[in-house]
Structure 1
Amino acid sequence: MADKDFRSQFGLLDWEEELVQYSPGFRDPSPTSRVDTFFVTERGGLRLTEYNADTPASPAYNDALSEMTYGLPVMREFLRRYEVRPLPARHSVLHTLIDAYQQWGNSHKAPRIAILDWREVPSFSEFVLFAEYFKSQGLECIITDPREVEYTNGRLVAGDFHITLIYKRVLISELIERGGMNHPVVRAVRDGAVCMVNPFRCKILHKKASLAVLSDERNAKLFNAAEREAIAAHIPWTCRVENRQAQYHDQTIDLIPFILKHRENLVLKPNDEYGGRGVVLGWQSDTSSWEQTILTALNEPYIVQERVAIPTEPYPIMIDGQVQFIDQMLDTNPLVFYGDYVDGCLSRLSSEALLNVSAGTGSAAATYIVEKR
């Protein structure tokens, strides 16, 4: 990542280039993350379509939903026949925060945690769940808005609370857009006055172009044979939208004409958005809107990605007081820690091809490992 030419493939903006130079004080650029995948049974594995490395939501929701579902009357009979094991995640978030904090340089003092995001975000209730959990583990914790913090005399504070560890849930792009590069959090992190997880360096891998970097034939030499095999098995073909030739599997293509011609099999995505914003599914678009999106993609950072088969399963849904089994599309999104192991999994169901809870096109379901007794 020290190679600026290589880093340019990720499509970082100038201000992002500046921020990623700040040392977070710990090793991993994305200690907590989430991979958004589809379990495609005919291929026998996961197809990874996005990597959420900036502000991965859902660990506390995952735990609360699992606990609530355990108590439903239907589980009473189900548990007699099946062993049902939840996949908790809050503890791994806590361990990750503490580990980063100790690497940062405070191995003896307990952190004073601030969960940082805008008060009005729809995920605020998850912050409440996390704050309750952190306090139950004997830690001091507040939920605070970026507009409420100050940086004075080398201390980041919210009111009279001295913050030493930020659990960052605010999107970096929104923090800079609304607060600027001189925001108290930016200055405190730059000066090493506070530990922040995830750090600014997470922006590199969070870019949707990170999957294009893996797919790009020009980078094949960076990976060994086993890694190239894993990329081919789990990453759908992904490419930065540019007016150039590219490799599509075993053929060389003129990229823009190819995108125009193969709309039914492609998706266009902004390089750095969330909640499904700006994502255009070619098979749900008409020719005119597809062409317009391509024009936008030539002027702003975008990626094009090969369509992935979306699995469907029947799920019980209450309609007009009656339970009906209706086919729902589903994705499987493991929560990843240190880029190394998984604890917890966000599963979303939807009747729409764009599965996203915050976009209003999906709902979360409890995820368990289930085995017959």
Structure 2
Amino acid sequence: MDRISLTRAYLAELGRPGADARTAGPAGPAGPVGPVGSAFLDGMYEGRYLSRPLFLGHAEQVQLHADLENLRTALAALPDLLFGGDFEAFARAVGLTDVQVSAVMRGRGATVSRQTRADLYADDTGFKLLELNIGSAVGGMDNPDMCRELLARPHLADFAERHKLGFVDSLREQVENIVVESGYGPGDDPVVALTDWPDAYGRMLPYMEALCERWGEYGLEAYPCHVGQLEARDGRVWLGERPVDIVFRVFLIGDLLKSPESLRLVDPILDAADRGEVRIFTPLDSAVYASKGALALLSDERNRRLFGADVLAGLDRILTWTRMVRPGPVTLEDGESVDLVEYALAHQHDLVLKPTSLAGGTGVLPGWTPGLTAQEWSTRIHAALDRPYILQRRVRPSVELFADDNGELRPWTPLWGVFTVVNGYGGAYVRATPADGGGLVVNLATGAHAGPVLHGLAPS
């Protein structure tokens, strides 16, 4: 069964006498979000949970993972294929500033991290990628706790058993990623500093403390801090009097632009990493591959010659039409050549303007935003020319049904977050907002609710 047939089967069972669509089972309080959550999860999701999981069939989960791994491999090849190995040129081409380029050139990893989260909409044709987050700062890998709490409901547990559904422990995979990609092996006990930027640290500290505690359950010793609390001395990096082996980077490449002192704040850690005194998970260069500008290079018709038929088939399945905002001609999906600015102005409601490297929906402008006039759209398009912005084709996502306070099923717009890890498929979770709310940007900052994904297990 695929995600559509699994969902239909599950919703049909909720319609049976005695079933409660609000909670997917007989226990727990009424309400659209149901009795899901924990002190650990609530630190991130503020008690906003979906009342049921989404589903993926086994075959489509395998295909989706293969397509995402294909995409990551294609991104990793771009510096060599397009820039002759000149990584600095690649970083500039995808929209990084001089300050950011300087930092990433000092913080490069040996390979592109396998820890990614693809943000996708599902439409009538399948999954369509909006962005690929690469590296340590991806959120949502705490989703197995949501899976376990939902599966404690007898109704869902019975459904999952009958349809052979399960989930990946993404937190365990995250710990594995940290250890393996930092160069440690069995029997090693690295100490990790979970490191945010100073201005976010106070707000995130409760969740960071809880996350370190959860990592400890998997055998990883970790402590929360901000980058200003780390000190490089005596051939080590220290958090107070505790030597640190791995700096787990929560802060983003955009944080380096917050003030003239930002780069100086992180300089000692980058220098220590250059000297081999500490490992950074993940190095700053992951932000270059994760730039939406890199997706624009993959999407560009002129670069298709670089890849074989199998690679292109995978890209065509999930990659949304994406172009850097530059004057001049671009190619559409059907091969037609058009002037970018003229096309953008004529097709406002079919396009979204996005910065290449900002996170959390910051700076995103859907052309169909209510009240956005043609003149305002034109002003924003012209202001974005030759700056770090992309235009991306609008994806019209399929809705999913969730219960309201009265148990009535209502449409919500889900944004899928699908993980890849060193061991392969890393699980998935979803954020969703009510479809009647417009769904312009679906993320936690706009009040989205969170829930897990169950996938079909391999046939035994």
In 2, Cα distance between equivalents of 1:158 and 1:98 = 19
- Answer yes or no: is 1:97 the counterpart of 2:178: yes
Aligned letter for 1:116?
Answer: T
- Answer yes or no: is 1:276 the counterpart of 2:361: yes
Query: Which residue does 2:312 correspond to in 1?
Result: 228
In 1, Cα distance between equivalents of 2:276 and 2:161 = 54
How big is each residue's C-alpha offset from its partner over 1:221-261, in whole Å with a ceiling of 9 and x where there is no partner? 22112222222221111000011111112111111111011
Preserved contact between residue 16 and residue 203 of structure 1 (Cα < 8 Å) = no
In 2, Cα distance between equivalents of 1:128 and 1:346 = 22
Preserved contact between residue 216 and residue 247 of structure 1 (Cα < 8 Å) = yes
> SS of the residue aligned with 1:219?
helix
Judged with a 3 Å threshold, the aligned counterparts in structure 2 of structure 1 residues 57 and 123 are, in CA distance, closer, same or farther, namely farther
The correspondence for 1:34, drawn from 117, 142, 166, is 117
The correspondence for 2:189, drawn from 110, 127, 137, is 110
Judged with a 3 Å threshold, the aligned counterparts in structure 2 of structure 1 residues 125 and 81 are, in CA distance, closer, same or farther, namely farther
Query: Which residue does 1:369 correspond to in 2?
Result: 455
How big is each residue's C-alpha offset from its partner over 1:245-287, in whole Å with a ceiling of 9 and x where there is no partner? 1111211111111101100110100111111111111122321
**How far has the Cα of 1:7 moved from its partner?**
4.7
> SS of the residue aligned with 1:283?
coil
Query: Which residue does 2:345 correspond to in 1?
Result: 260
In 1, Cα distance between equivalents of 2:89 and 2:228 = 36
- Answer yes or no: is 1:350 the counterpart of 2:433: yes
> SS of the residue aligned with 2:408?
strand
Preserved contact between residue 87 and residue 367 of structure 1 (Cα < 8 Å) = no
Preserved contact between residue 247 and residue 278 of structure 2 (Cα < 8 Å) = yes
In 2, Cα distance between equivalents of 1:289 and 1:194 = 48
Query: Which residue does 1:138 correspond to in 2?
Result: 219
The correspondence for 2:398, drawn from 311, 324, 333, is 311
How big is each residue's C-alpha offset from its partner over 1:47-98, in whole Å with a ceiling of 9 and x where there is no partner? 11101125111102x1221122223465466567554412320111111111
In 1, Cα distance between equivalents of 2:187 and 2:160 = 43
Query: Which residue does 2:378 correspond to in 1?
Result: 291
Query: Which residue does 1:341 correspond to in 2?
Result: 424
**How far has the Cα of 1:302 moved from its partner?**
0.4
**How far has the Cα of 1:316 moved from its partner?**
1.0
Structure 1: which 5+ residue stretches go unaligned?
none
> SS of the residue aligned with 1:52?
strand
> SS of the residue aligned with 1:59?
coil
Aligned pairs for 1:1-373 within 5 A = 1=79, 2-3=85-86, 4-22=88-106, 24=108, 27-40=110-123, 42-43=124-125, 45-54=126-135, 55-60=137-142, 62-72=143-153, 75=156, 78=159, 83-102=164-183, 109-118=188-197, 120=201, 124-175=205-256, 177=258, 179-183=261-265, 184-249=268-333, 250-284=335-369, 285-298=372-385, 300-318=387-405, 322-338=406-422, 341-351=424-434, 352-369=438-455
Judged with a 3 Å threshold, the aligned counterparts in structure 2 of structure 1 residues 200 and 315 are, in CA distance, closer, same or farther, namely same
Aligned letter for 1:276?
Answer: G
**How far has the Cα of 1:185 moved from its partner?**
2.3
In 1, Cα distance between equivalents of 2:440 and 2:402 = 18
Judged with a 3 Å threshold, the aligned counterparts in structure 2 of structure 1 residues 223 and 7 are, in CA distance, closer, same or farther, namely farther
Judged with a 3 Å threshold, the aligned counterparts in structure 2 of structure 1 residues 6 and 134 are, in CA distance, closer, same or farther, namely closer
Preserved contact between residue 348 and residue 355 of structure 1 (Cα < 8 Å) = no
> SS of the residue aligned with 1:349?
strand
> SS of the residue aligned with 1:102?
coil
> SS of the residue aligned with 1:21?
helix
Higher helix share: 2
In 2, Cα distance between equivalents of 1:237 and 1:100 = 32
Q: TM-score by structure 1 length?
A: 0.88
Judged with a 3 Å threshold, the aligned counterparts in structure 2 of structure 1 residues 100 and 293 are, in CA distance, closer, same or farther, namely same
Bigger mean CA offset, 268-277 vs 357-366: 357-366
Counting aligned pairs with the same residue, the percent is 23
In 2, Cα distance between equivalents of 1:255 and 1:307 = 15
Structure 2: which 5+ residue stretches go unaligned?
1-78, 80-84
Judged with a 3 Å threshold, the aligned counterparts in structure 2 of structure 1 residues 114 and 120 are, in CA distance, closer, same or farther, namely closer
Aligned letter for 1:344?
Answer: G
Q: TM-score by structure 2 length?
A: 0.72
Query: Which residue does 2:25 correspond to in 1?
Result: none
In 2, Cα distance between equivalents of 1:121 and 1:219 = 44
